[in-house]
Structure 1
Amino acid sequence: MSGPVVLAFCVWMLLTSDFSWINGGIGLIAAVLVSLLQPYRFSLVQFLKLVFLIILNLPRAIAETFLMVLAPHRQERYQERRLKHPDDPWAAFVEIFIITFTPFSLVVQAESRGRTRLHIISRKGPS
Structure 2
Amino acid sequence: MIGHLNLILRLAIWFLLTANLSVENIIIGVSIAFLLPGRPKTPEALKDWLRVLWETLVAIPQAYMEAFEIIFRPHNHEDVTMEQVKAGRTPGLIFLDIFLITFTPKSIVLKYHENGWYEVHWVRRRRKA
Change beyond 3 A, Cα 1:50–1:98: same
Tell me whether 10-19 or 109-118 shows the greater mean CA deviation: 10-19
Flag structure 1 segments of 5+ consecutive residues without an equivalent: none
Preserved contact between residue 86 and residue 92 of structure 1 (Cα < 8 Å)? no
| CA–CA distance in structure 2, aligned partners of residues 73 and 119 of structure 1 | 13
Partner of 1:120: 122
Preserved contact between residue 52 and residue 97 of structure 2 (Cα < 8 Å)? no
Two-structure CA RMSD over aligned residues (Å): 2.8
Tell me whether 1-10 or 69-78 shows the greater mean CA deviation: 1-10
How far residue 77 of structure 1 moved from its aligned partner, in angstroms, is 0.9
| CA–CA distance in structure 1, aligned partners of residues 18 and 100 of structure 2 | 24
Preserved contact between residue 81 and residue 119 of structure 2 (Cα < 8 Å)? yes
Preserved contact between residue 105 and residue 119 of structure 1 (Cα < 8 Å)? yes
Flag structure 2 segments of 5+ consecutive residues without an equivalent: none
Give 3-state SS (helix, strand or coil) of 2:54's partner: helix
How far residue 7 of structure 1 moved from its aligned partner, in angstroms, is 3.2
Equivalent runs, 1:1-127 vs 2, <5 Å:
2-19=4-21, 23=22, 25-36=23-34, 37-40=36-39, 45=46, 49-85=51-87, 88-125=90-127
Compute the TM-score of the two structures, normalised by the length of structure 2: 0.73
Instruction: Please list the CA deviations of residues 35-76 of structure 1 after superposition, one character each: whole Å capped at 9, or x if unmatched.
Output: 111314687x56555433211221111101121233321100
